Amino acid sequence: MTQSTAPAALTRLTDDEVLFRDSVYEFADREVRPLSREMDEHAKMPRELIDKLFELGIMGIEIPETHSGAGASFFFSVLAVESLSRVDPSVGVLVDVQNTLVINAFLRWGSEAIKHRYLPKLASSTVGAYCLSEAGSGSDAFALTTRAVEQGDGYRLNGRKLWITNGNEADIFLVFANINPEAGYRGITAFIVERGMAGFSVGKKEDKMGIRASSTCELLFEDCVVPKANILGEVGKGYKVAIETLNEGRIGIGAQMVGLAHGALDHTVKYVKDRKQFGKPIGDFQGVQFQIARMAIELETARLLVYNAARLRDAGLPFLQEAAMCKIVSSEVAESVTSMAVNLHGGNGFVKEYAVEKLFRDAKIGQIYEGTSNMQLVTIAKNLLG
């Protein structure tokens, strides 16, 4: 595989960022690629691989060094997700949820006691999960029905969460529940639930079309008592935790989709050079060349939107609209690029022996999770129209 089709001068990466991006990709090429097909078939990610992600230092990128993290910027999280997803988007999304959702929420809303207690674990050994969605609460995120009732020094949680990424691997769960349904979204509170707490269990694992090695599970809360010390942020302010964390998360999904599309382009460039028809490589035909060129243009467009949103976030500037834009464009590009990759592979693109079949399946989720494409359009339009 080629190292990159994106010159550093065009994407404005520093030398350190280029080195980091390439080192994560080399890791993925060496450690993830040999496992990718088996992980997809068995819908499972080996714990040994997750441990290697921790050893590489990319499971706690923004966590300060004082809490055992890398102490790097959000942009480095984006680069890690992109580089991993170029090989396997399932691994990319595990790292994405860990960094852009779970750790981001702990860093922004956690008390010093919570940071001291949880950040070293999240940086070194423990996977986290972000638990907002429910059966009747998807795009309408605040229609959640999971309830929390005050009880002594804690709260008793009852309800059910669905479509929770990292559900099988996680030991720390950031769970959103409503302590005062009459107050609507102003009753939503964020709770830190640990695996093993009485009344909490991980239920059914979904059998998915794509990103199959990434676990997507239901969570069950049956009189699960969570200490008041495990509230993240303020009581009744969980909606702020949810909204503001998801804005960063959308940039992470954008990075996943860019990496996925980059991987599909890699495979296709190699294939059209090797595959011969009418006595010469099909890459010598202008019709094929034009399609390859369009794939590269779409990919670079999406990449620059993602990088721009990430740079704005790190600079402390508004990025709501840019995050929505990069998410919708990158997910559409991932679908179009992987579709063309399958087309250019011909019949080989339709069989599991070739990686583009898997990447095509993996791409579809990008327009659905962490805010559907229609919801991104709503966000952009409202922002423009005030």
Confidence band for 10, pLDDT divided at 50, 70 and 90: very low
- Spatial distance between the Cα atoms of 129 and 108, rounded to a whole number of angstroms: 16
Residues 116-142 have pLDDT tens digits of: 999 999 999 999 999 999 998 878 878
The residues annotated with a catalytic role in the active site are 370
Asked whether the predicted pLDDT for residue 1 surpasses 60, the reply is no
pLDDT at 68: 96
Residues 52-68 have pLDDT tens digits of: 999 999 999 999 999 99
CA distance to 109, 155, 234, 377, per residue, from 240 (Å): 10, 20, 10, 21
Task: For each of the domains in the chain, give its residue range(s) and CATH number, in order of start.
Answer: 8-127 (1.10.540.10), 129-237 (2.40.110.10), 240-385 (1.20.140.10)
Q: What is the mean pLDDT of residues 346-375?
A: 96
Proportion of the chain above pLDDT 90, given as a percent: 94
pLDDT at 11: 54
Asked whether the predicted pLDDT for residue 9 surpasses 90, the reply is no
